Copies of this chain bind each other. A is one copy, B any other.
Amino acid sequence: MSNMEHTRESWVDVLVIGAGPAGVMAANALARNGVKIRIIDQRPDKVAAGQADGIQPRTIEVFQSYGLADRLLKEGNQMHMAAFYNPGPDGGIQLSERAPDVTASSARFPFEITLHQGAIEAIFLDSMRSLNVEVERPVIPSSIEISADQAILNDPEAYAVKTVLKHVDNAAEEQTEVVHSKFVIGADGAHSWVRKSLDIPMEGEQTDYVWGVIDMVPDTDFPDIRKKSAIHSNNGSCMIIPREGDMIRLYIQLDDKNLMTNGRVDKSKIGPLQLLEVARKSFHPFYFGTPEKFDWFTIYIIGQRVASKFSVEDRVFIVGDACHTHSPKAGQGMNASMNDSHNLAWKLTHVLKGYAKPILLKTYEFERRKYAQDLINFDKQFARLFSGKPRTKPDEDGVSHEEFLQAFQTFGGFTSGIGIRYLESVITNTTHQSLASNLTIGQRILPQVFLRAADGRPYEIQDLLPADGRFKLLVFSGDTTQGGPLQNLMAFSTALKPVLSSLVSEEKIFDVFDILVISSATKTTVNHNRIPLFLRSHWSKVLIDDSDVQRKQGGGGYANYGIGEEGALVVIRPDGYVGTVTPLQKVEELEAYFSQFM
């Protein structure tokens, strides 16, 4: 009577498997770009508490580029400061130092945000809902098959992947569906079914470090309970991560080998009260009461592994924890995962819309696997420092405060996500780096306030470069109130139009490219109407490098970017990273860049 089977068939451009942070980031980005997608998850509901929770400065910028940072900033806790505790002379811990939590000086949002994973996912789910995309759940994939026909594989328009899904709903029926898609994104976590189905091995190993985690509203006289605090005591290490509301998370080092069963940690062997008991020993002499309840707890052993490849036939891609696992204390997990999807989504969009060649998709693994490996290497060093015994005398073994603090600061560019740099590829060309010497090609564009020429309103440039799937051409023109630069700009405009028309049909130019002119004229002299019409699709597209009328922000952008009065064309990729810089006088170099993949 039950388990009546129905099979239906359907077609979609992209099927996203898994609705965790990586999955919803991918689905939302693709849907925003107008790609037909579906997203499924085997969990009946979204996460309610616990799990990953730290959002790094670069990830906040990425949220902002999707128009989603406001809610994150409003709902989340902001960590601005870190505190470091070490053993004091009387055996208990004492404060060694308070320092900025974020040391990357160019971070636009110079803090980390903590917010539980369910709330973060909800931001994307609401955004997706406004685009008429809902997560289908509970839905379990049961098989996946990529076409072996080379003709099909060569045609990005072909539905080359067949995935069989089981819809498991409350009704007694189980429905089977065969989904034909052009691409599949496996965002299904550390135990990824997609990865296993495609026989992609994980490389790397498991560590010996066992940690416990408890979430609670604390009852304590510890002065730095609302800062990110690293506690190195003679009775073990702890880390405090303050959370939204009055909650905190405590990471607690455990050295009990009895917590292991068959090489995996066994959560049944310890509870939150025992974890708190272990933490209390580290916190001595500070008081730490027993909270009314624990909102969540877990124990885990750190595994440091990267998948051997991130895609199969450039048709199925894995993102997020499916590709890499590492320790949570450096707060990288959710960030790495969402940025995988952010990197992949625009590339899939351009191939699906026929703007770019499939070769563009190769850069996903190239860029993100390199990053994942760097992340593991960083994590190894950081986990060793964090889990190591504190050293308080010069001749002892262990980790000194100075060593730990230095590592914390040295790795700041990495842990904040701000320093991530993609290496030379078809989309990253450093030939003319010297024309914008401080704007590192392969890194995200440096924050800088410019004024809109027409109304003098200051704008952070990042806010004019949203993640809308378009390449942004920033035309640094020099001072357009002067005859020379204005004539050069006119010549550039005349030369640019046929180049862009050769890459995409003329009526689609502004679907693929957005053009902004950044003049070094001043707010008192500029006339935006003088800029050639092709370069100002709207009056808001002309900017100037000047301070605002209150002299509080803006100005010095050419210098900050290392651009001279001769100007430059800066290409910003749809994900906000600098793709290349070319001279205004040589439009053919711009053509050469784009024609590698378009």
Please, how many angstroms separate the alpha-carbon atoms of A80 and B528 in the complex?
Answer: 16
Given contacts A98-B524, A524-B98, are A456 and B81 in contact (CB under 8 A)?
yes
**Is A130 an interface position by the 8 A CB rule?**
no
Nearest Cβ on chain B to A457's Cβ, whole angstroms: 5
Q: Closest B-chain residue to A110, C-beta based? A: B550
Q: Is the CB of B242 within 8 A of A455?
A: yes
Residues of B within 8 A of A110 (CB): 549-550, 552
Asked if A99 is at the interface (CB within 8 A of a chain B CB), the reply is: yes
Tell me if A565 is interfacial: C-beta within 8 Å of chain B.
no
Q: Digit string of A560-583 for contact with B (CB within 8 Å is 1, else 0)?
A: 000000000000000000000000
Given A99-B549, A549-B99, CB of A457 within 8 Å of CB of B529: no
Say yes or no for A225: interface residue by CB 8 A criterion.
yes
Interface string of A210-227 (1 = CB under 8 A from B): 000000000001010111
Which residue of the partner chain, among B78, B225, B246, B457, contacts A457 with CB atoms under 8 Å? B78
Chain B residues within an 8 Å CB radius of A529: 221, 223
Residues in chain B near residue A552, CB distance under 8 A: 110
Interface positions of A from 77 to 103, Cβ below 8 Å from B = 77-81, 98-101
Closest CB in chain B relative to A70 CB, distance in Å: 7
Task: Indicate if A68 sits at the interface (CB-CB under 8 A).
Answer: no
How distant is the Cα of A484 from the Cα of B99 in the complex, in angstroms? 28
**A320 in contact (CB, < 8 A):** no
**In the complex, which of the residues B223, B227, B456 contacts A227, with contact meaning CB atoms closer than 8 Å?**
B456
* Residues of B with C-beta under 8 A to A99: 549
Task: Give chain B residues whose Cβ lies under 8 Å from the Cβ of A225.
Answer: 454
Cβ contact within 8 Å between B455 and A223: no
Q: How far is the CA of A524 from the CA of B529 in the complex (A)?
A: 52
Given A70-B70, A81-B549, A99-B549, A527 and B455 contact (CB-CB distance below 8 Å): no
Q: Is the CB of A528 within 8 A of B223?
A: yes
Contact in complex: A454, B226 (CB < 8 Å): yes
Contact string, A60-86, partner B, CB cutoff 8 A, digits 1/0?
000000000010000001111100000
In the bound assembly, the distance between CA atoms of A550 and B100 in angstroms comes to 7
Contact B455–A226 (Cβ < 8 Å):
yes
Contact assessment for A549 and B101 in the assembled complex, using a CB-CB cutoff below 8 Å: yes
Establish whether residues A80 and B527, one from each chain, have CB atoms under 8 Å apart when the complex forms. no
Which A residues are closer than 8 A to B by beta carbons?
70, 77-81, 98-101, 110-111, 221, 223, 225-227, 242, 246, 452, 454-458, 523-524, 527-529, 539, 548-550, 552
